[in-house]
Chain A
């Protein structure tokens, strides 16, 4: 960076972080939750607010802001009030290590992947807080289910990423992008080496574990609206419900960013020199396009599939995904040494 004063740089980075977390969430809600879901269910979705209902989200936010901030009578007020912020903090911490261009990053940590995997679990604490402090049985069941699920799926998530780390030889997110840009697939370097091709198994496991981390169907046991009303969010209203809602979609966007950095080449597209300054402008747009692609998969599954039961969900994590991801690591390690 050219010599900016520390406070100017910090302000820019904070504003950029806010934008990176909140800006994708809006289009995701409108495009996928409102429109794609409606078309798949043979209805139109919102049509009145703005052209083709595109301002609907603003109307919803306005509605939630006006609502009363309710506390259940027996709730632990401080914990109850703090829980949605803890969930949102996890999203903000995650975006810190995501690179958007050769120079457009917030923090260039050498242990970027490790940091991302570590802070992604912070949201569990928020969800447990919400579930316990609500003093409601549905909320508590939802919170406990969420804790069990998020911890179980953290492992395949981390292990799936290990394959990428072995292949790239680094934990630095920026270097992982560069490794994909400059790599080659068994001697063919025309499109670099996006790890989705050489780490396809890892990508599939990562997507499944990500779906579970986001508590989207078919892994939406913690919110299961036909059983637990809405699980740990049951007692929330107004602003705090909105924070949970934004947190859900912001986290979906950020996990998609991490997936695109790890498997799809991040801000880089084939054909342009990765050191080119062009990517500082083009990079965020490329990232956004890739995020839309990844989240399309997430929401497609969300709309199509029924819900797993808690024990089936745990079985899938421990008996299928973890052995598969260990196998992936072994194969990647052998191939890394061999070639």
Chain B
């Protein structure tokens, strides 16, 4: 016998009574609605099995794995420099941020530190991939609640950021630019000024979207008070990133547990939180993060030190035996790599802790009792990327 507290017992009885009342009031036959795997609102191939009573969700369950590509296993047969090519494809709209924690973990095992200039550029690119990612998420939220225009504005202004990432790394979507001990190349001429201009465009976008979308009464009616995640429930489900900060938890890896090799501690910036925990507050915190990201990039650009971008590393990289776990604050939440090395050319085992997997696992709890249109609003505000769920 497991001990059940009085509170739990009462809650259970309450739930049963609600169900019974609902069934007596409106005698309707339940319907199972498969949202996905092919559905416009799932950003790829997520499937949500929703049991409906009319338009109300009785139970919902996310089914993942349609896009599983086995990166953890594939990484075991790649050399360390080759793995960055793989992990680029985990969160495909903010790719550079996926490379950072892996490279940092490898550097930690090898006890190498990148030169200061490389650390600055790394942080700038990490933050720019956050901007590129979250801007798309904000525009996409508009589509989820039925406004088609914001997503075009988001794509238009995201282009300025992507152009700068491309100018520096050679890749718009998959930079593959981070190396153990530094970076592949130095910045091209004129990049710093162009990036500052791009950040101005980003801030203009934030101002536009704040009035066009966030200020719209219908958008607020669709998102305020919908999909509320209390602090303790969010923590219990392992939510991270914006989703937990919007529930009032003031916790950011960039500030509170910054790994060696990034330079967030060199500048002043602010971690945004919101007490409400509903869809609107999640989107609001996202918007503030884009603004703050632009501010961070501009501040870092102003104080990039001179020097080399690559430390002395052996030509053939062998990582000494040991284990390392490094996590960073990625666009979608906390992302971490746990690397076990046996001293070979390739890792013995890689475990990827991706943010969206945990973020999406709260959906059965969160979707109970909401209406069908709210499913889409909640999924949009949780903002996941399928590659980040399935890896």
Which residues of A approach B to under 8 Å, CB–CB? 37, 40-43, 137-138, 141, 217-218, 220-221, 224-229, 303-312
Contacts and interface: CB of A to CB of B under 8 A. Distances in A.
A307 B222 contact: yes
A90 to B, nearest CB: 25
5 contacts: A138-B33, A226-B40, A226-B143, A303-B148, A306-B218
Given A43-B152, A308-B221, A312-B221, A227 B41 contact: yes
Contacts of A229: 39-40
A311 B371 contact: yes
Chain B: interface secondary structure?
A: helix
Leading 8 A-B pairs by shortest Cβ distance: A307-B146, A41-B152, A306-B147, A306-B145, A306-B146, A309-B373, A306-B218, A226-B41
A224 B148 contact: no
A137 B153 contact: no
Contacts, number: 78
Given A43-B152, A227-B373, A303-B149, A218 B218 contact: yes
Interface residues of B, number: 30
B222 A310 contact: no
Contacts of A227: 41, 372-373, 375-376
Nearest to B143: A226
Contact of B149 (A40, A138, A221, A228): A40
Contacts of A218: 146, 218
A309 B374 contact: yes
B152 A141 contact: no
Interface in B208-236: 213, 216, 218-219, 221-222
Contacts of A225: 40
Contacts of A217: 146-147
Nearest to B156: A42
B123 interface: no
Contact of B147 (A37, A43, A305, A310): A305
Interface in B187-225: 213, 216, 218-219, 221-222
Contact of B146 (A40, A42, A226): A226
Contacts of A141: 33, 55, 372
B142 interface: yes
Contacts of B222: 306-309, 312
Interface in B105-161: 142-149, 152-153, 156
A306 B219 contact: yes
Nearest to B147: A306
